[in-house]
Amino acid sequence: MTAFNKIEQLPSKNTQHSGRSLCRDTRAWLLRFMTGHLSPQADWVQHHIAACPKCQRRLAAFGKVNLAISILKSQPHNLDLLRRANSQAIKFLERNLREAPKAARLKTALPQPKLREKYASYRYSAANIAACIAIICLTKVGVFSSMEKLQMRGGQIVKEYYAHQAGQDLADELFKT
């Protein structure tokens, strides 16, 4: 049975449950919510959390854990932090889960940096290489040869101006090529 099929069986606020059973069911569904299977906006979840101090404390503790994790992410840390955190977390699991092969792999896991973080120190070198390639391509296309033509045409216009204003003799003398 999938999580979506089970949603239809959720307890409503009118369902008769013992306090303990409803609390346990709510915690189970809150766990599903935290893993993305259930919306926190469900009426029965909202009503129960508003009325149950035990679930309010658990939800507050969950918020504190999220805050602590975000602070840890923002601070530099040793590479073995993940391994140490996993080892501590595994101690709180049930015995059969502690001895599972996945738990053994978690005890020795090291963080794998993202590709962007791994090569971040090379970003300026890559930008410089890209700029050099762009200059070479522009030269190949002829941008710089067009600039030389523009400079020669500008010189001819200035020579014509002097020829018209001061005479051809003076213009020839000034612009000997």
pLDDT-derived band at 5 (thresholds 50, 70, 90) equals very low
| Interval 34-42 mean pLDDT | 60
pTM: 0.26
* Closest alpha carbon to 28 in 1, 63, 55, 68: 55
Question: What is the distance in angstroms between the CA of the first residue and the CA of the last residue of the chain?
Answer: 91
> By the 8 A CB rule, do 44 and 9 touch?
no
pLDDT-derived band at 133 (thresholds 50, 70, 90) equals very high
List the chain domain ranges: 1-75, 79-112, 144-177
pLDDT-derived band at 117 (thresholds 50, 70, 90) equals confident
* pLDDT exceeds cutoff 50 at 7: no
pLDDT-derived band at 91 (thresholds 50, 70, 90) equals confident
**Helix, strand, coil share of the chain (percent; to 5):** 75, 0, 25
* pLDDT exceeds cutoff 60 at 176: yes
Burial call 126-164: b when 16+ CB within 10 Å, e when fewer: eeeeeeeeeeeeeeeeeeeeeeeeeeeeeeeeebeebbe
Per the model's pLDDT, the better-predicted residue between 155 and 110 turns out to be 155
107 CA to centre of own chain: 26
Which residues have CB under 8 Å from 3's CB, separation 6+? Answer: 32, 37, 38
Q: Determine what percent of the chain is predicted with pLDDT higher than 70.
A: 77
